[in-house]
Amino acid sequence: MAEMGRMLMWIGAMLFVIGLIFAFAGRIPGLGHLPGDIVYRRGNFTLYAPLGTMILLSILLTVVLNLVARWMR
């Protein structure tokens, strides 16, 4: 039961950090305007595909989660 409690606390801590990132992501200069981010506007329609931002965040999250996984072993 103690392991389950620790796991739930870690999940809660990670959700808190992810929430902070989402809350302050708009204030990070350049995020969302990286090379590879696609904006298509046609009349009343706008398509925004942040491919460069998604790749960068994917790499960062992969590194962080691998470090956490190794630390928890």
Phi, psi of 60 (to 5 degrees): -60, -45
Q: pLDDT at position 55, please?
A: 92
Cβ neighbours of residue 39 under 8 Å, at least 6 residues apart? 46, 47, 48, 49
Q: pLDDT at position 26, please?
A: 74
**For residue 50, what are the domain limits?**
2-72
- Low-confidence residues of the chain, pLDDT below 50? none
Q: pLDDT at position 12, please?
A: 94
- Domain count across the chain: 1
Say what the alpha-carbon torsion angle 50, 55, 60, 65 is, to the nearest 10 degrees: 110
Q: What is the C-alpha to C-alpha distance for residues 13 and 16, in angstroms, rounded to an integer?
A: 5
Phi, psi of 36 (to 5 degrees): 105, -15
Q: pLDDT at position 13, please?
A: 92
Q: pLDDT at position 38, please?
A: 92
Q: pLDDT at position 31, please?
A: 74
